[in-house]
Amino acid sequence: MSSLSGRFAGKVALVTGASRGIGFAVAERLVAEGAQVCITARKTEALEAAVESLGGKERAMFVAGKGDDAEHHAAAVTETIGAYGKLDVLVNNAGINPVFGPMIEQEPSAARKVFDVNVIGAVGWVRAAYDASFRQHGGAIVNIASIAGTAPAPGLGYYAASKAALIQMTQQLAFELSPNVRVNAVAPAVVKTQFARMLYEGREEEAASGYALGRLGLPEDVAAAVAFFASSDAAWITGQTLLIDGGTSLMRGLG
């Protein structure tokens, strides 16, 4: 990490859904490489603790709110620019999955909520950042999709469909916002977070057996790829989605 410690010096990032898990790991990585960050989530207490862990107000700030609230999007972007003078990077990590099981058994209201946060909310964050800064100054956007958006995912139907939409949206926005704004995505497999615990808790060894690299992912694995896409090292890359899956996609059809 020491050789990359200045890659985001003078840069400002906004990371949604970042009080814990992948979002927090992304914010931590960006701060380690020199960025100032604003993190968002719903719960103020968790955000306060996260900001403290990131180095306090000199390095990080927070704005609490709901991921599908347009007023929250605008306020977070405005407050970030007001505090740090600019905005260079947006990481769309906020996402929900309140239901598990066959799609046909789920209530339509739950499906609407998933898409409101995971897809429409993500576009709202892009719109807010673009209107306030990226339209004039350019920027980099990284969307956190999922391997579930690339193939059937038992029990995760609406969540998987929303992540498939996010992958397509990444390409669409990359096309529409070029040449000054780059838009890419990462699509992790199972990462050891509280959000994904039902997919591995109590049977981690069994779950990891389906991965060519022999383990589940860590938030830091995703954060490293996000930092690459957000940095000038990816200056000629846009509209791409990177699978971060420990080789599990290599194992499909085996066994």
Point out the residues that are catalytic. Answer: 159
Measured in whole angstroms, the distance separating CA 219 from the mean position of its chain's CA atoms is 11
With tokens 């989605």, the residue in question is: 241
Cβ contact 92:16 at 8 Å: yes
Dihedral angle sign, alpha carbons of residues 118, 54, 2, 190: negative
Measured in whole angstroms, the distance separating CA 37 from the mean position of its chain's CA atoms is 14
Q: Which of 164, 83, 92 is nearest to 130 (CA)?
A: 92
Q: Which residues contact 63 (CB under 8 A, 6 or more apart)?
A: 38, 40, 72, 75, 76, 79, 80
